[in-house]
Amino acid sequence: MVFVQLEERFTDVPYHRCRVGLNHLAFHAKSKKQVDEITKKIKEKQVTVLYEDKYPNAGGSKHYGVYFDVQTG
C-alpha cells in the first residue's frame, strides 16, 4: 500500500468520502472477539463508529464487523 501527499494544486476541492478515489480500507479479523476488541479500542479513542445501531452486522447478517470514520487534516 502506498500513500502519497496530495499536491497543493489539487486541494481546492474538499474531501468527501463518497467522491471518486480511495474512500475506505477493509481488513480481515481472525475472530469476532478480535472485531469486538478493535471496536472497544476505537471507542476509547473517541473515533466515530458508523452505523453503530446496526453493529456488528451493518454490512449484512453474514458480515461481522465495525465501520468507523477517521478524519485527517
3-state helix, strand, coil in the chain (%, to 5): 25, 10, 65
Q: What gap in Å lies between CA 61 and CA 57, rounded to an integer? A: 5
Residue 67 pairs in a beta bridge with 50
pLDDT tens by residue, the chain, 73 residues: 666 777 888 777 776 767 766 667 788 999 999 999 999 999 999 999 999 999 999 888 888 999 998 876 5
Q: What's the pLDDT score for residue 66?
A: 94
Contacts of 24 (CB under 8 A, 6+ apart): 17
Q: What's the pLDDT score for residue 23?
A: 67
Residue 34 has φ and ψ, to the nearest 5°, of: -65, -40
Give the cell for residue 63.
Answer: 458480515
The domains found in the chain, sorted by start residue, are 25-73 (3.10.180.10)
